[in-house]
Structure 1
């Protein structure tokens, strides 16, 4: 049957049954991995992915655990096809790889196992499982190496085509080679076996599906599913006016150099396709933040699919509607020997932020309400990593602990409401935060607190989600070494349409504390009762940091950017935030302009109106050049969408609060006034915490744009300048 014949007379029920069957298979593969793995990174935090590919390396379906891996998974399968002739593949084979340079992995700990699938002697596809393994050798326990200057120091690198199972039996030589190069060989090998078990589950289920429908019908309907997914995504893109959009973001150091590293992206919308070009990004560095091209593709797809294909079946079709290019030898497409062990969680997530930013700027121009309402503040999008390695006091056993609490970032503000608190990174929305009790059971640790970081969310008409704030101490070990990285410390996620940036992330060690005294007196240790001789705020990237019994490791996680001017947030929502202790009464007044009182409503309406008017006047007085307001605020804000500038039929942007013209440029800042201040100090005024980086040649500044007619904040952006 030709494709045109099938499209003219296909059975939609069969199409949907096969599609959902494939989705269920990859989810069952994930369950098999969780139930057979011994690693809490997999079992508790779900840092894995499972997928099914056809015989050409196109993916049928993909699990929802870590979306970022789709780029690396696809590259891994296609690299295997280039490395091993299909006639040399057999039922029961499994191939392992983890090299970002040759196999597309996000970083070496993200190890991939690929198994060919045969039906009636014909190669019909591949089952692919990928998971973060606790240790992969190299100079630093845990696989993240801030001090590495080349990829050879980071890990044992496995290129495509390395056979780990041969016709159902483990290849013992490969097992011994790997075990000889990792610090926790038993756990590592068991996790490899769990990925093989996951693939075997997928193989059995896919073979049964093909048996049920027949190979020809299965292939016809999966190909049609690709085409329909692509069509829907392209139709959404056609709803966006053609245009070119550009922006930059900055990676904060490379592990041993504190300089900012540029990630640049130019997005071109043309007809029914979008091109993302990362030309202009910094050259690759000799630090661990270089992002493999596979991870870059996954980072772009993460945001593109979330904003445009939120309800589209996630298969190969959605990837065809956009194109990703990046010059070789850059931080977003490095060559050997560039180190890459943290590229996806630093440079990669910067790419995700950029795509979110650029697509929001484009989608807001759409006349299709469904598309235009996909705009959002940027997510906290990073991973604040802490890896602890040491020896248990009771057994003398060496352990490596990658604390998955680091994924508890806040998401960006939405038009429908506030961002999600501790919602995770956009590329890993299927990740989970581990239970405190499980971490304490598995590792020699005692948690002192784990709560929302109220100083991490970006204020706005709708606010960004909050990250988490937690602290723990050693409990069953005398001393450990820590590897830490906090990619979002000084350059936080942007807000949108006047929403403020979110907060940053970081680590501090409280040395020589009174913890033993508090515990002996049965007093709950928290940030108000713990006393420390010194508080050591750690660099953005560090390894080999000693943590001793009695010390406290404190971590705070980035939040999401806000959306819309905070002065347009309904007073009732501000009062609710005050009652929930998310906002202080003082901040409610100075930032949101809401005067809280003891009335039934919770605020003084007249005083609130006067306070908001005064704040708007002060903004215009501080602007460059200073102006006086000429129009009254007339907006009636029902949700955050009402706080976004709108464009009329003549292409003129209108202020959401007073409806005055903001100009006719592609953006809405042509006729605004602006104020630029050091970012850390200005955000501190907003109750948002980021690391100060205002001095030197690469200072981080916050530029705020106001409607010159009424003083409404319509855009904020971060700049890097002296």
Structure 2
């Protein structure tokens, strides 16, 4: 049996290797979505595709097991050292949406398959009906770009250029996609080489045993934490603004959590039927939401890996928004992820009220396809837009950040203005947008773009009709909104998710949602109220009688 010290040494080496892979991909990326927003993950997996250490991009973690399971099913005994597999298919490979492309390489010790390394990264454009592929109003999967099932892009160390040519031929941004693909393949192969080195140093059996022990320990720790929860059932329901297509119909997300006999069951069967628009989820994304919310509710000492699955049961009904069937579109999945996390956290508050947290603003994207790009620049501007966390017992919410699952980065103004034909005329926090409470929600952020060329914009966001909810008597956060030419005679107020054209000289203002508050506003510490006013977070002291006015 492997000793605990060696197990911990190998775990740390795997974590360090993932950091090395992450660093090289970040430094080698061509698109802003990789090198600025860092919308990617790098992992090391066991021989069945189980994640050993979770990546910073948490919601990718449950995807790899589905992907590698399908690779093993399709290619099985023919997998060889030097192979690299590629896939982006949400239904056949479990990817979040078609824009997320995965590369996976096996690791062998002699003839023995030890594990895999992998990476997933968002692509600037993979075809489909709109530039950037991530349409706000797609009605079927085929609108969202080229579909690549798990196939070899390198066989036994020999590249398969026809696969790359096929992918690039379907992209409006082939140079960006080629650069990011090359970087992904390189870091995936680097990871495989480093794991092989660990096999040589410690022995392949030691590595296999360490993987099993790390997975088993995480499962045991989660099971022990669940065993401390009170038995019972809790239900929560929330609504998304719309599916992006049927704009007057909210979309219901529901969960019933049951804790019994040391197992936590999360049942999403009462959620809405799968939608016509692209907010549907694949099961891997539901799993990500469950483990994120569960670990966050139970405590910061737990670290996810695939060994935790035995302590949790997840139920998703077929043809619902949490378990769609092909060819239902999925490109706006992240909005659903973030709302689903809020719903799960609300239900978890029944079991661990001391860790209950108010609703968060939904991180979003803005995609601008410039009709006349800046000389030497790209025509495709893709940004992650942050929002705010809700408050919890003992702490205010964080302002202007990507929330919950993603750990993404907001693109700096300097990058935007140097690469694209626009100016950022405003980038600041929105006073009074955080929900009032004993602890207040984080403030929303707003950006105003001055367009220097004509463009088509795809805006994907939630929480304009149903703002982030307060908890334990706290007020709701401010709602999201988007406006073309604010304050001018030609002002146009937009739906949260929309596709629209803008002209040179137009201004586009994007305001995200603020976080919900926790506890009655009348109980907020007077010194904190004074600091709120001094710092410009609020324009007047919050009170229980003026909460509605405070948030207007």
- Band of TM-score, shorter chain: over 0.9
Q: Please, what TM-score do these two structures have when normalized by structure 1?
A: 0.74
**CA distance, structure 2, for counterparts of residue 492 and residue 54 of structure 1:** 41
Partner of 2:464: 489
In structure 1, the partner of 2:512 is 557
1:284 corresponds to 2:262:
no
- In structure 1, how many angstroms separate the alpha carbons of the residues matched to 2:221 and 2:299? 8
From 371, 382, 402, give the equivalent of 1:391.
371
Deviation at 1:686, TM superposition (A): 3.0
Shift in Å, 1:143: 1.7
Who is 2:20 aligned against? 28
Tell me, in whole angstroms, the C-alpha distance in 2 between the residues paired with 1:534 and 1:449. 19
| Aligned pair partner of 2:129 in 117, 134, 139 | 139
C-alpha distance 394-338 of structure 1, shift in aligned 2 (>3 A): closer
Equivalents in 1 of 2:30, 2:297: separation in Å? 35
Tell me, yes or no, if structure 1 residue 102 matches structure 2 residue 92: yes
Whether 2:431 is the aligned partner of 1:474: answer no
Match of 1:710 in 2: none
Partners of 2:377 and 2:41 lie apart in 1 by 30
Q: Deviations over 1:199-256 (max 9, x none)?
A: 1221122112222221222222221221221122122112210111111111221222
Distance 1:215 1:167 in 2: 20
Q: Please point out which of 412, 416, 420 is paired with 1:443.
A: 420
Q: Which residues of structure 2 form unaligned runs of 5+?
A: none
Instruction: Please list every run of at least 4 consecutive aligned residues from structure 1 whose deviation after the TM superposition is greater than 6 angstroms.
Output: none
CA contact (8 A) 2:485 2:507 kept: yes
Q: Distance in 1 between matches of 2:548 and 2:492?
A: 21
On the 8 A contact 1:384/1:506 being kept in 2, the answer is: no
| Structure 1 residue 305, shift from structure 2 partner | 2.2
> CA deviation digits over 1:302-342, x for unaligned, max 9?
21222225222332223332121101111110111211111
**Corresponding residue for residue 377 of structure 1:** 358
Provide the C-alpha distance between the structure 1 equivalents of 2:261 and 2:474, rounded to a whole number of angstroms.
30
CA deviation after TM superposition for structure 1 residue 397, in Å: 6.9
- Equivalent residue for 1:266, pick from 256, 263, 267: 256
Provide the C-alpha distance between the structure 1 equivalents of 2:32 and 2:63, rounded to a whole number of angstroms. Answer: 22
Per-residue CA distance 1:396-446 (angstroms, 9 max, x = gap) = 976111122x1x1211213231111123221012x1112110111222221
Superposed CA offset, 1:424-471 (max 9, x none): 221012x11121101112222211111112233122111121221111
User: 1:506 matched to which residue of 2?
Assistant: 481
What is the match of residue 155 of structure 2? 166
The corresponding residue for 1:315 is 305
User: CA, structure 1 residues 462+60, in 2 after alignment: closer, same or farther (shift >3 Å)?
Assistant: same
Distance 2:226 2:413 in 1: 43
Which one of 408, 411, 418 corresponds to residue 434 of structure 1?
411
Distance 2:378 2:413 in 1: 21
In the TM superposition, residue 187 of structure 1 has moved relative to its aligned partner by 0.7
Q: 1-side partners of 2:9 and 2:41: how far apart?
A: 22
Q: What are the residue-to-residue correspondences of 1:566-715 with 2, within 5 Å?
A: 566-585=521-540, 588=541, 591-592=542-543, 615=545, 684-687=548-551
Cα deviation digits, residues 249-287 of structure 1 (max 9, x gap): 112212221111111111111132211110111111221
**What is the aligned-residue RMSD (CA, Å)?**
1.8
Name which of 49, 59, 63 aligns with 2:55: 63
Deviation (angstroms), 1:541: 2.1
Q: CA contact under 8 A between 2:372 and 2:454: conserved in structure 1?
A: no
Secondary structure of 2:491 counterpart: strand
Paired position in structure 2 for 1:228 = 217
The 1:141/1:270 distance shift into structure 2, 3 A limit, reads: same
The alignment partner of 1:446 has SS state of strand
* Distance across 1 between alignment mates of 2:181 and 2:357: 38
Aligned CA distance change for structure 1 residues 21 and 566 (closer, same or farther; 3 Å): same
What is the CA-CA distance between 1:683 and the residue it aligns to?
Answer: 6.4
Contact 2:39 2:122 survives alignment (8 Å): yes
Q: How does 1:343-382 map to 2 (within 5 A)?
A: 344-364=333-353, 373-380=354-361, 382=362
- Return closer, same or farther for 1:563/1:119 CA change in 2, 3 Å cut-off: same
**Could you tell me how far 1:378 is from its partner in structure 2?**
2.5
Whole-angstrom CA distance in 2 between matches of 1:461 and 1:394: 48
Offset of residue 385 of structure 1 = 2.1
What is the rounded CA distance, in whole Å, between the counterparts of 1:398 and 1:224 in structure 2? 47
Contact 1:108 1:157 (8 Å CA) reproduced: yes
Which has the larger displacement, 312-321 or 96-105? 312-321
Q: In structure 2, what is the Cα distance between the partners aligned to 1:75 and 1:274?
A: 22
SS of corresponding position for 1:355: helix
Q: Hey, what's the Cα distance between the residues in 2 that align with 1:27 and 1:52?
A: 11
Give the SS at the match of 2:405. Answer: helix
**Structure-1 separation of matches of 2:543 and 2:532:** 11
Distance apart, 1:350 and its partner CA: 2.0
Check 1:309–1:97 CA distance in 2 against 1; reply closer, same or farther (3 A cut): farther
How far has the Cα of 1:122 moved from its partner? Answer: 1.4
Q: Distance in 1 between matches of 2:513 and 2:159?
A: 43
Structure 1 pair 459/143, CA: closer, same or farther in 2 (3 Å)? same
8 Å contact 1:503–1:559 — kept in the other structure?
yes
Shift of 1:393: 5.3
Quote how far apart the aligned CAs of 1:507 are.
Answer: 1.3
Aligned partner of 1:306 in structure 2 is: 296
- Give the 3 Å change call, closer, same or farther, for CA 26–557 of structure 1 in structure 2: same
Deviation at 1:533, TM superposition (A): 2.5
Highest CA radius of gyration, 1 or 2? Answer: 1
Question: In the alignment, is the contact (CA less than 8 A) between 1:237 and 1:271 conserved in 2?
Answer: no
Query: Residues of 2 paired with 1:72 and 1:251: CA distance?
Result: 24
Q: Give the superposition deviation at 1:111.
A: 1.2
What's the CA shift for 1:363?
0.8
Report the alpha carbon displacement of residue 14 of structure 1 after superposing the two structures with TM: 1.7
CA distance in 2, matches of 1:286, 1:490: 19
Matched residues in 1 for 2:36 and 2:136: separation?
A: 26
**Residue number in structure 1 paired with 2:317:** 327
Query: Residue 112 and residue 434 in structure 1: after superposition, are their counterparts in 2 closer, same or farther (change >3 A)?
Result: same
